[in-house]
Amino acid sequence: MAKVKKSFFCQNCGYESVKWLGQCPSCGQWNTFVEEVIEKGTDKANWDQYTSAIKRANKVIALHEIESGEEKRIITQDAELNRVLGGGIVSGSLILIAGEPGIGKSTLFLQCGLHFKNRSVLYVSGEESEQQIKMRADRLMVNEKTKVNDQFFLLTETATQTIFQEIKKLKPQVVIVDSIQTLQSPVIDASPGSISQIKECAAEFLRYAKETGTPVFLIGHITKEGGIAGPKILEHMVDVVLQFEGDRHYAYRILRTLKNRFGSTSELGIYEMTDSGMRGVMNPSEILITQKEEQLSGIAIAATIEGVRPLLIEIQSLVTQSVYGTPQRTVSGFDLRRLQLLLAVLEKRGGFHFGIKDVFLNIAGGIKVEDPSIDLAVLCALLSSYEDIPLPQTMCFAGEVGLSGEIRAVNRIDQRIAEAEKLGFEKIIVSRYNQSLKNTSRFNIEVIRMSRVEEIYRYLF
């Protein structure tokens, strides 16, 4: 008979303790320990035959003896997914995708599996039946131009023992698991979704991916606080962590990289939710800038960069007289503390009395931007709303604002100017301290250099 072992796990960080503790020593949270029964016995030795299809002998090797070469990447039909992953799927990688319920995670990767070329794909679902997935696949309305993958296989199962038995028979080239929180390993006698089950199931798929070179996608849930459900070690185990963001009331979704061992973590993919599934948006600047017939105050266009992709985004601001005692500061898609910093700069360096005003700031399109180069556009949008004077529609901004009121240089200014020129803008205001920007005559757009906030105010208003 297998030996029964009981442990206590922190539901927040996954810390394991032999007894119940009031406060977790790892993350410091209170009352997060839950008892779980772990059954480990002789089954563990027999269990390895299911979780590994190819056993390879590992031995010590000198670093100079290892042949260096680029990772073999699998190019998908989804250009946005390729971009976010750093150029394609790396063989043997374990990829975790997390997002809110109903945001479109299952739709996106069902669509991705259906469009794979010449590769067998196994879609493991622990949440839906075969009929539900078939209905969704039919609803995606795969158009006639794109041939559906005839090697797309479906398995509705939650027991990892059965899943690996089927994997051993089928030998798929790509595995998609929806979702990791629904799986249950026979090695652990705990309920699905518990800390120990998620950790063990992820470890089994990690071992399988590395030993066979098969890429595995794990779709995951998030908690009500917005973090990925399960132990924090889950994010350390996987090679790539993707966050699927967006508001269900808007049509656009954002696929953001939080961790990537094979590429940049600053990449961004933008999708539009349509009746026929997720459609990649190739030119997001056009959807992030509202087409207006008349000029309105409080709107400025910022030239930013996400990963390797230059974007033009619209900053909307509203400055009104404060009716109540405490002025409001409300932001959407921007850092509130950064806004308070810019308002302090305008108060100190420009003499503007924002302390008695309500300030509302929004980035159009529902995206979140952390690039400091949009400071200048935010500042100009605030001044435009404060003076109630609209800015020219053919002008955009790229610059970081310092505490002393100076306009600081930003990186990759050439790409920002080229993107503004491509979208038909006539003027762009940048920092005078951009050393890389020496020859501006090659652009068909007027590049205006400034160094202080006061100069911009005199120029615009």
For 293, other C-beta atoms within 10 Å of its C-beta total 5
Question: What is the predicted pLDDT for the residue at 364?
Answer: 85
CA distance from start to end of the chain: 83
- The per-residue pLDDT of the chain, averaged, comes to 85
pLDDT at 460 over 70: yes
**pLDDT > 70 fraction of the chain, expressed in percent and rounded:** 91
Q: Is 107 helix (H, G, I), strand (E, B) or coil?
A: helix
The letter for the amino acid at 209 is A
101 is in an annotated binding site: yes
Query: What is the per-residue burial (b if ≥16 Cβ within 10 Å, else e) of 423-456?
Result: bebeebbbbeebeebeebeeeebebbbbebbebb
Residue 124, pLDDT > 90, answer yes
Q: What is the pLDDT of residue 303?
A: 92
pLDDT of residue 144: 47
Calculate mean pLDDT across residues 345-369.
Answer: 88
**C-alpha distance from residue 353 to each of 181, 230, 346, 387, 456 (Å):** 52, 47, 8, 12, 18
Helix (H, G, I), strand (E, B) or coil at 441: coil
- In this predicted structure, which of 266-280, 347-361, 371-385 has the lowest mean pLDDT? 266-280
Annotated binding-site residue? 147: no
Q: Per the annotation, does 106 bind a ligand?
A: yes
Of 46-55, 102-111, 151-160, 451-460, the range with the lowest mean pLDDT is: 46-55
Does the annotation flag 213 for ligand binding? no
Which secondary structure element, helix H or strand E, spans residue 359, and what is its range? strand 357-363
Answer whether residue 127 shows pLDDT above 60.
Answer: yes
Q: Is 105 annotated as a binding residue?
A: yes
Q: Which position has the higher pLDDT, 232 or 85?
A: 85
Flag whether pLDDT at 248 surpasses 90. Answer: no
300-332: per-residue pLDDT in tens? 999 998 877 888 999 999 999 888 778 899 999
Over residues 177-201, mean pLDDT: 87
- Residue 233 scores a pLDDT above 60: yes
Is there a binding annotation on residue 103?
yes
- Indicate if the pLDDT at residue 2 is higher than 60: no
**pLDDT attached to residue 49:** 56
* Contact (CB, 8 A) for 339 and 385: no
pLDDT bin (cut points 50, 70, 90) of residue 1 is very low
pLDDT band at 145 (very low <50, low <70, confident <90, very high): low
In the structure, what pLDDT confidence band is assigned to residue 369 with cuts at 50, 70 and 90? Answer: confident
User: DSSP assignment, residue 445?
Assistant: S
Q: Is the pLDDT of residue 47 over 60?
A: no
Annotated binding residue 277: no
Does residue 113 have a pLDDT over 60?
A: yes
